[in-house]
Amino acid sequence: MIQTSQRDPATAVYRATVPAGDYWLHRIDAGQTLRITDLEGNQAADTLFYNADDTAERYSMTDTLRGQRNVFLTTGSVLRSNEDRPMLEIVADTCGRHDTLGGACATESNTVRYDLEKRHMHACRDSWMLAVAQHPEYHLTKRDITHNINFFMNVPVTQDGGLTFADGISAPGKYVEMVAKMNVLVLISNCPQLNNPCNGYNPTPIDIAVW
């Protein structure tokens, strides 16, 4: 559901621009609001959420979709953990819907889906693994990379129950805004994918704001 926000980016306590293909790792305290903005349009932001005080608790696609009885995420969606607790709630969304079924690109999936020659292309799992390696203070490992949300990504469910990577429905300046219900650790891969239309075959930056 389309819902705009009254928050002014000029009053944000934190701002950052994440280049295409880079990662962003940050703590958001309970009660704070996080906005992710698709600056140039059709840019997927593959995102992981953890309980900042106990990273064994993390975002769960299955608990979230079971709780809302809808396969897409938008305004009003409560992002739930693997302990079935609310982590964040989407309170504004000018894109309209976001994917949490399609997973994230990886060396292995690029090879299977596209070509053996694509196996060395940068992927979201590479960005997440780099973040984990560069931030040992969070005690995360490869095993902690599980369910994710693909903000701004269009992954329709086909009539036979399959998934397809389709042209994006986002546009320059579209954003999604979430209020944290607990202290959360947010890890975003600003997707580098070049082999399908999730980034319009041209990855671009995203903007982060926190209030």
pLDDT tens track for 137-167: 999 999 999 999 999 988 777 777 777 766 6
* Whether the predicted model's global pTM rises above the 0.85 cut: yes
Strand partners, 71: none
Confidence (pLDDT) at 156: 73
**Which pLDDT score, from 0 to 100, does residue 128 have?**
95
Q: What is the mean pLDDT of residues 20-32?
A: 97
Of 169, 161, 162, 175, the residue nearest 197 (C-alpha)? 169
180: how many CB neighbours lie within 10 A of its CB? 23
Return the closest-CA partner of residue 198 out of 159, 157, 158, 150: 150
What is the percent of the chain with per-residue pLDDT over 70, rounded to a whole number?
Answer: 87
Would you state the structure tokens that stand for residue 51, as one six-digit string?
Answer: 């309980």
Question: Which is more confidently placed, 114 or 94?
Answer: 94
Cα separation of 38 and 141, whole Å?
28
The answer, yes or no, to whether residue 119 has pLDDT greater than 60, is no
DSSP-derived 3-state class of residue 100:
coil
- Answer whether residue 114 shows pLDDT above 90: no
Exposure string (b/e) for 107-146, b if CB count within 10 Å is 16 or more? eebbeeebeeebeebbbbbbbbbebbeeeeebebeeebbe
Residues 6+ apart with CB under 8 A from 182: 30, 51, 52, 53, 85, 86, 87
Predicted confidence band of residue 5 (pLDDT cuts 50, 70, 90): very high
Specify the 3-state DSSP secondary structure of 20.
Answer: coil
Question: At residue 113, does pLDDT exceed 60?
Answer: no
